[in-house]
Structure 1
């Protein structure tokens, strides 16, 4: 399984959220989600969404997962290549616990290649709820074009 994640904060700190989606090798959606995290920082939102994505994958019984994030901070933290301040260690320790339940790898993806995850993260910030989508037709209307672009392998231009 391949899953893309992105975290976002409107202000830093400010209302934050994250989103992600999982697809199979054919590019078809397995699930997508967004979550609101309340007032928080962008970096903590990036770690929290990674945790959430991994937890959802494990709950679906997927034990071999390739993760993609456009955050170098998250990739380095996941790989143990950075020394994190105490305020981020809680989420990293939770991520480390989930890593023991499967085989997880992570890679850095260009921001333009993570459009759907970014769109879902913005929905998490705006809605401050937790929603799991199991069908592409159930995706928020504002993210459906981003899904189609991703499915055909085209990047998306992010609006500021």
Structure 2
């Protein structure tokens, strides 16, 4: 550092604030944490998610491989009779269109319309969460992409091993650091 200053260069180190982020229990009903993953652009993609009750218990979880894209967690919720009250998702590309009522693109209009209708009909609150508070859903989405699988898990014990550290962290209320 001293040598840099002696050469006449100024050093400007930006200050970054870290945020503490953690998963929070839903107040009532079931919460769906959902995330997507893509391995390439374009490339194989999938999504994953889990339904949790106010005690943090996993009611149902899923990993869906879609090849080049499609989302259908709402069909799983309807088929299983799950009444979702909240959806937490870290991609703003899912959250913002559901708030504005405008599909992200024509390519996605068909599935987006179904999701939007589901959210409107059931009065589901959709919120953005940071990736650090959505790690189990992220692990499930990555599992779908890597394994090219479509699986439904009926309890937390059935989840793939990569989900366990994040699931345990959620249950213990552990915080993750997020830097901008």
Structure 1 and Structure 2 fold alike (TM over 0.5): yes
1:96-141 CA-partner distances (Å, limit 9, x unpaired): 3433552311100011101000000000101112100011111111
For residue 77 of structure 1, what is the aligned residue in structure 2? 97
Instruction: Name the CA distance, whole Å, in 1 between partners of 2:37 and 2:55.
Output: 28
Structure 2 segments unaligned to the other structure (5+ residues): 1-29
The answer as to 2:164 corresponding to 1:144 is: yes
Q: In 2 relative to 1, CA 83–141 (structure 1 residues): closer, same or farther, beyond 3 Å?
A: closer
Match of 1:92 among 112, 118, 128: 112
The answer as to 2:95 corresponding to 1:66 is: no
In the alignment of these two chains, the number of paired residues is 149
1:18-52 CA-partner distances (Å, limit 9, x unpaired): 10001100101111110001134xxxx6xx1xxx2
Structure 1 segments unaligned to the other structure (5+ residues): none
Mapping of residues 1-160 of structure 1, within 5 Å: 1-40=30-69, 48=71, 52-82=72-102, 84-99=104-119, 101-155=121-175
Q: In 2 relative to 1, CA 141–38 (structure 1 residues): closer, same or farther, beyond 3 Å?
A: same
Matched-pair contact (CA < 8 Å) for 1:146–1:156: no
Matched-pair contact (CA < 8 Å) for 1:54–1:98: yes
> Under a length normalisation based on structure 1, what TM-score does the superposition of the two structures give?
0.83
> Under a length normalisation based on structure 2, what TM-score does the superposition of the two structures give?
0.75
| RMSD of equivalent CA atoms | 2.1
Point out the structure with the larger helix share: 1
Q: In 2 relative to 1, CA 143–14 (structure 1 residues): closer, same or farther, beyond 3 Å?
A: same
Matched-pair contact (CA < 8 Å) for 1:114–1:155: no
1:65 to partner: Cα distance: 2.1
